[in-house]
Amino acid sequence: MTTTAAALEARMRAQAYGLGFDLAGIAPLGPTETAAEFERWLERGYAGEMGYLARGRDKRADSRLPVPGAMSAIVVAMSYGGGEPSGPVARYARGDDYHDVMLERLEALHRWIEAELGREVRGKAYVDTGPILERDLARRAGLGWFGKNTNLINPSLGSFFFLGALLVELELEPDAPFDADRCGTCIRCLDACPTDALVEPRVLDATRCISYLTIELKGAIPVELRDKIGELIYGCDICQEVCPWNVRFATPLPDESPYAPREALAGKDAHQLARDLLGMTPDEFSGAFSDSPMKRAKLRGLKRNAAVVLGNAGTDDDVAVLTRALDDPEPLVREHAAWALGQLGAAWELGELTARERRPPS
């Protein structure tokens, strides 16, 4: 089957919407506008332990390189429910892993394009895992602008959405880039960040960001930042929640969404979830969080985070569960449990707690 480029592009967008994407646009590939800014961000040490972000520099600087022969990107966005209530787990991580969900749908779009053209089309789908600056492509495809909280913001959807891109060898008519900055003088996101991670508009020091501290950081959370984490166990939505564009336009999840909270999370506040995680075995964790983005932090990381939350918001009733955590096989968990007990003013002296958490588990 043959079709004109214009007809293909129109049908391509319609197919993307039919697959469940909320936004779709087309961008030309080439030198990346934000590559220099990204390099400066890395040089300032703002990536922390995320060393993988320094790999593939050449490909990040030129979006034609990841897929030889590719000329265009079909860029899509998929909402994950900014209208849902806040909670101890960031909205994006409450359901199924977005990488799997979006890759499957982008690959379906790729197959559809090949069927429409009646031939093989070289291409590859990316969802937050390759040397691609997706925000750059999304802005180039007309999907939004870079907010002062560093998220891409769309004027009719807000920012609670995932981005993905299908790079193809086709030369497609691009959409007009989104050149406007609609943040104006607003700095609510900067003012609201508990850890002052937004060091200036559109510049994030990830090493202070609660999402980094509770997910990407593999070691101990700096003591001076623990109380600022509050009741957040995995990720943080604060800089998005206060954004006027989300206050106005973010929507709840549709029925049967793959991002709906799983049973292990549904209806639980930070206190309940923290206690559950501290008592969870590896097998229970694997069962409860199969195909969940929360597996990225591993059980040891989630128990670390849970201990911090109980140190910030626990009660005397939590002394027992934290005391049991002092015998956890992971030194990381024992250290944070000891800190939490000290925060709660438990019956033991903090020095004795610290000595105990350093002992090998019984």
Catalytically annotated residues? 128
With H, G, I as helix, E, B as strand and everything else as coil, classify residue 314: coil
Greatest Cα pair distance, the chain, in angstroms, is 77
110, 278 Cβ separation under 8 angstroms: no
Distance CA(218)–CA(118), nearest Å, equals: 48
Quick one: tokens of 323?
Answer: 């005391």
Nearest to 93 by CA among 156, 160, 17: 160
84, 228 Cβ separation under 8 angstroms: no
DSSP tag of 176: P
Torsion sign (Cα): 238, 313, 210, 193: positive
**Burial tier of 314 (Cβ tally within 10 Å: 0-12, 13-18, 19+):** buried
Distance CA(290)–CA(95), nearest Å, equals: 10
User: Would you state the torsion angle of the CA atoms of residues 300, 305, 307, 308, taken in this order, to the nearest 10 degrees?
Assistant: 150
316, 297 Cβ separation under 8 angstroms: no
Q: In terms of residues, how long is the chain?
A: 362
Amino acid at 240: Q
Structural element, H or E, at residue 77: strand 72-79
